[in-house]
Structure 1
Amino acid sequence: MGKGLIPADLDTWKQRRRVIAPGFHALYLEAMVNMFADCSERTIMKFEKLLEGEDSRGGNSIELDLEAEFSSLALDIIGLGVFNYDFGSVTKESPVIKAVYGTLFEAEHRSTFYIPYWKIPLARWIVPRQRKFQNDLKIINDCLDGLIRNAKETRQETDVEKLQSRDYSNLKLRDDLMTMLIAGHETTAAVLTWAVFLLAQNPSKVKKAQAEVDSVLGQKKPTFESLKKLEYIRLIVAESLRLYPQPPLLIRRTIKPDVLPGGYRGDKDGYPVPAGTDIFLSIYNLHRSPYFWDRPHEFEPERFLKPRKDVGIEGWSGFDPSRSPGALYPNEIVSDYAFLGFGGGPRKCVGDQFAVMESTVGLAMLLQKFDIELKGSPESVELVTGATIHTKNGLWCKLRERSAVH
């Protein structure tokens, strides 16, 4: 990702954030919801077609790896939403998806390995792992070349003049496109995957979610306005991000000497850290901490509806939805930084609204049409990390058409 938005130094980040942030304003998001619905509809129609084929053979369900399906859906959405390009990967598998998984595995490997052996001359060609990484990177870069070419060719001439008059060598635009292509599709696919995994084990929550979808949407596609009313679906997305945060770790580097607060039951004097220290924040552990959450390992989307105050934890002002009225999801302000599904502070994820809306639309349209159960036991779904949390062998589920759709 070079000097893209996530790893950028402070000066580069300030410049890039100003350039990118306007792209996620309200009017853009409103248009995006329609596109999310259109892309999700393609996925739903694919499932329906597969079910029809199964019906003709006497079956009433299909078995699918929903993680793979969500990856294809999210890639199509980021392609259309950011690059104005239709990957069409819902109907034909894209090599970009596997390449993205590969690069994220390597990112995690490099952030935790003791010696940066990949910097040794020729290591990238001699070490099999590094050869694979270079191949994955080439697939993504070739894809980006095509996307940039397509964007230039399909723009109006006046827009092209504006594009060419800007100094993109300084703006590091390509790094940001790489960031959006990787971080903008794999993370959402992971959120949807774990949301379904959790719902499949909680039939009562599924019924509650489907009742909301039936009430708000009926048989219609979601719109920007109806999405605001899909409160329980949005809470399911938030609770899935609490239990399976994407990414499970955040990394921050001190730019000057500082003292970290001691925290609850920590050292009263805090912890001095010199400039240039890399600090790993375990969001996974924070989100499952018994100090901040009742029954932290349980799937309870409803937990975000009620305040949690005066719990006697020094330095934490509790959970209070009234702190951020009208928020699309229970953000870091509401939770006083106990929930960091999209990070917090100035370096917070720029695409948080985009991702929540995309996940809500995809999940609502799936539940609108289908009942879902896991093919095997929950224990058979192993998780692996590669900068994000995903499954080891896919999320295999049985899909049936809903028996009573209102």
Structure 2
Amino acid sequence: MRRLCLGQIATLVLLQATKTISACGSGMKVEQAFIGGATRSPFRPSTLPGTRSRRGAGTTRMEVFEGNPFGKAVWDFVWKLPIMKRGEPGTPIQFGDVAHVLRKNIEQIYGDEPSVDGAPLAEGEVSSMTDGTAFLGLYQYFKKYGPVYKLLFGPKSFIVLSDPTIIKHVLKTNNVAYDKGLLAEILEPIMGKGLIPADNETWKVRRRAIVPAFHQQWLEHMVSLFGECSDVLMRKLEGLAASKTDVDMENLFCSVSLDIIGKAVFNYPFDSVTKESPVIQAVYSVLKEAEHRSVTPLPYWNLPLANIFVPRLRKFKADLKIINDVLDELIEKARISRVESDLEDLERRNYENVGDASLLRFLVDLRGEDTSNKQLRDDLMTMLIAGHETTAAVLTWALFEISQKPDVRSKLQAEVDRVLGDRIPTLEDIKAMQLVRFSVAESLRMYPEPPLLIRRALEDHSLPKGTAGFEARIIRGCDIFISIYNLHRDPDLWPNPNSFDPERYLRPFINKEKYPEWAGFDPAQVTGLYPNEIASDFAMLPFGGGARKCVGDQFATLEATVTLAMLLRRFDFDFVGKPEDVGMFTGATIHTRNGLRMTPRRRTPSPSPVAAAVDRELQGLGA
């Protein structure tokens, strides 16, 4: 047997990276190599040539230093170097913390060390892990290995969680023990210190300023803005319906969402439903780059001189400058016209008489918030990307599902016919359209945006058992995948999870046999207009949960509800091709793979006999 030499040990850290580069070079897109690049058993630990492997504890292992005391001495010496020192619990992750996690994985996979975390190691061929639908691969592993398991990418690892009790511990009970980790590293070049990638201390400061901006009076005013922007979309669809022309509805939803975000966040008229411009093109380019980075395993953009020699990075840099120049100009204009006000005065503003009702206006005018232009720009960029992506995806999948279910569509159209008449929705109308609201929630359940949350442990600790049957040991620096898709499609949490059923939120559900510590879903616990993590005890997390839950959840759901209601009021839609041809593809959110091509048909808003009968049934139920 040949022994493992020091050079081979050094290559372990780069082993999976080499596979990924090879896969990409042979024609596989980097995006498709989301987790690992191997075309065979993506998560089975590999052995190096000339080494002897053996099966142990469900994984392939290697006797690393057998007969090689010098190699072991060097290995031990390396880990005593000052650079390998681990940081203090709760402080930002250091190089030594990441190296310590890699060391534990290497010793587990290639040596005789037991698993430091105790989680089962996911193995096997799952093609979806490399075809752009990684969340589907994680679901297959969930069915095989349970709610807590471990993925290995060479010596790199992730713990995947799919149990609501354990996830509640990570996001709420013990949230201070985690930060955004890998996600922050990916998004910081784009969003800077915005709310999503910000470290915990920066996040606390910015959240205190931003959350008050989403107050009730402002949201009520935004509902009218949602309607005005959606009405532009309706007029475009009128022309398409008259000419019987098909269209990619996903693209149109992206456009109307961008128009709404532009006006609501920084008072900028993109008008992307009706025109193109260099700014719009730059925004879409940056959005695509953000998605690309979220699914690319190798952060090549951090390499020296990459911005000079990689064409897509040169384009990204130029596009980012276009957007930043626009944002800087808008911020400067807002500062020049600043009317410094206390929070109470801002919350009492009559937004009907305010020319600029944007979030930027609020943040600039708020007394005591002398925020730098750079921080404001980071905040705006974060809201632009996050807000645009979520709403467009929610509307896409809601229309996809509703158009396949005539009975659901009839009930929804009966509701909007009864409530809306010919007017643009108000907040009171939204409150009256329960099934439309629940359809938005159901779209978010079936197609969560994003399908994964990422966290990194800031201290050593153990997770609660939940239904896993063991307390997984998490070490500082360990990366966590919280699979929202697994949660939302778990039949033990949601009966018939693959069926689009907006009325499920009218029915309580609990499963003490499978999830004894889970409180179940209780409609009586829905505190707002939409089901959330409170009513479901963390089994439904469309916007995350705990302290770092998305601050724009109400904004996004109200926006989607207004657009969907107006759409159902005026049109029916026919698929171009088969629904199964639409396909799924993941980036930051779940997209269609081939677009959502549909032909709009104008409908008569007045209720048909069938819709009228359904409406009477709904009124009898007190909906």
TM-score (norm 2): 0.60
**Structure 2 partner of 1:335:** 536
**Structure 2 partner of 1:267:** 469
**Structure 2 partner of 1:58:** none
Distance 1:302-1:181 versus aligned 2 partners, 3 A rule: same
Give the aligned residue type for 1:138. Answer: K
Give the aligned residue type for 1:267. Answer: G
Work out the CA distance in 2 between the residues paired with 1:262 and 1:293: 21
C-alpha displacement at 1:218, in angstroms? 1.6
**Structure 2 partner of 1:99:** 285
**Structure 2 partner of 1:140:** 323
Counterpart secondary structure, 1:390: strand
1:12 is the counterpart of 2:213: no
1:21 is the counterpart of 2:211: yes
1:187 to 384, 390, 396: 390
1:49 is the counterpart of 2:239: yes
**Structure 1 partner of 2:518:** 316
C-alpha displacement at 1:277, in angstroms? 2.3
**Structure 1 partner of 2:305:** 122
C-alpha displacement at 1:96, in angstroms? 4.0
C-alpha displacement at 1:116, in angstroms? 3.2
Work out the CA distance in 2 between the residues paired with 1:284 and 1:191: 14
Give the aligned residue type for 2:472. Answer: Y
Work out the CA distance in 1 between the residues paired with 2:222 and 2:461: 41
Contact 1:15 1:171 in 2 (8 A): no
Work out the CA distance in 2 between the residues paired with 1:404 and 1:362: 16
C-alpha displacement at 1:405, in angstroms? 3.1
Give the aligned residue type for 1:322. Answer: A
C-alpha displacement at 1:296, in angstroms? 1.1
Counterpart secondary structure, 1:322: helix
Work out the CA distance in 1 between the residues paired with 2:319 and 2:486: 31
Matches within 5 A, 1:259-298: 259-264=462-467, 266-268=468-470, 270-298=471-499
Work out the CA distance in 1 between the residues paired with 2:445 and 2:205: 31
Contact 1:243 1:287 in 2 (8 A): yes
C-alpha displacement at 1:11, in angstroms? 0.9
Give the aligned residue type for 1:275. Answer: R
1:374 to 575, 584, 588: 575
Give the aligned residue type for 1:218. Answer: G
Moved more, 381-390 or 160-169: 160-169
Distance 1:203-1:346 versus aligned 2 partners, 3 A rule: same
Q: How many residues align?
A: 392
Distance 1:297-1:310 versus aligned 2 partners, 3 A rule: closer
**Structure 1 partner of 2:407:** 204
Contact 1:16 1:171 in 2 (8 A): no
C-alpha displacement at 1:66, in angstroms? 0.9
Contact 2:340 2:367 in 1 (8 A): no
Counterpart secondary structure, 2:454: strand
Give the aligned residue type for 1:141. Answer: N
**Structure 1 partner of 2:372:** 169
1:354 is the counterpart of 2:555: yes
Contact 2:543 2:550 in 1 (8 A): yes
Work out the CA distance in 2 between the residues paired with 1:158 and 1:116: 42
Work out the CA distance in 1 between the residues paired with 2:578 and 2:546: 39
Distance 1:165-1:301 versus aligned 2 partners, 3 A rule: closer
TM-score (norm 1): 0.90
Distance 1:125-1:262 versus aligned 2 partners, 3 A rule: farther
Work out the CA distance in 1 between the residues paired with 2:536 and 2:259: 33
C-alpha displacement at 1:146, in angstroms? 4.1
For 1:136-184, what per-residue CA distance to the aligned partner results, in whole angstroms no more than 9, with x for missing partners? 433433442343345346x356679957985423982221111011111
Counterpart secondary structure, 1:334: helix
Moved more, 177-186 or 164-173: 164-173
Contact 1:238 1:330 in 2 (8 A): yes
Work out the CA distance in 1 between the residues paired with 2:466 and 2:324: 43
Counterpart secondary structure, 2:598: strand
Work out the CA distance in 2 between the residues paired with 1:100 and 1:230: 35
For 1:102-140, what per-residue CA distance to the aligned partner results, in whole angstroms no more than 9, with x for missing partners? 123223134xx1x43322211233234434443443343
For 1:350-384, what per-residue CA distance to the aligned partner results, in whole angstroms no more than 9, with x for missing partners? 00111110000000001110011211111111221
**Structure 1 partner of 2:270:** 87
C-alpha displacement at 1:279, in angstroms? 0.9
C-alpha displacement at 1:288, in angstroms? 0.6
Contact 2:521 2:535 in 1 (8 A): yes
Distance 1:342-1:376 versus aligned 2 partners, 3 A rule: same
Counterpart secondary structure, 1:125: helix
Work out the CA distance in 1 between the residues paired with 2:323 and 2:386: 13
C-alpha displacement at 1:303, in angstroms? 1.0
**Structure 2 partner of 1:57:** none
For 1:290-348, what per-residue CA distance to the aligned partner results, in whole angstroms no more than 9, with x for missing partners? 221111111111111100024421321111111234x2110101001000011100100
Work out the CA distance in 1 between the residues paired with 2:222 and 2:373: 29
RMSD: 2.2
Contact 1:239 1:299 in 2 (8 A): yes
Give the aligned residue type for 1:324. Answer: V
Greater relative contact order structure (CA < 8 Å, 6+ sep): 1
Contact 1:62 1:400 in 2 (8 A): no
Work out the CA distance in 2 between the residues paired with 1:346 and 1:274: 22
For 1:4-58, what per-residue CA distance to the aligned partner results, in whole angstroms no more than 9, with x for missing partners? 1011111111111000001101000010011111111111112213434x2xxxx
**Structure 2 partner of 1:220:** 423
Give the aligned residue type for 1:130. Answer: L
Work out the CA distance in 2 between the residues paired with 1:344 and 1:165: 29
Give the aligned residue type for 2:302. Answer: K
Which 5+ residue runs of structure 1 have no aligned equivalent?
55-60
Moved more, 365-374 or 316-325: 316-325
Work out the CA distance in 1 between the residues paired with 2:270 and 2:306: 33
Distance 1:116-1:64 versus aligned 2 partners, 3 A rule: closer
Contact 2:250 2:595 in 1 (8 A): yes
Counterpart secondary structure, 2:372: helix
Identity %: 53
1:109 to 295, 301, 304: 295
C-alpha displacement at 1:284, in angstroms? 1.1
Moved more, 42-51 or 312-321: 42-51
**Structure 2 partner of 1:255:** 458
Work out the CA distance in 2 between the residues paired with 1:306 and 1:228: 19
Give the aligned residue type for 2:536. Answer: S
The structure with the larger Rg is 2
Which 5+ residue runs of structure 2 have no aligned equivalent?
1-190, 342-360, 608-623
Contact 1:235 1:329 in 2 (8 A): yes
Work out the CA distance in 2 between the residues paired with 1:73 and 1:358: 10
Give the aligned residue type for 2:506. Answer: L
Contact 2:583 2:592 in 1 (8 A): yes
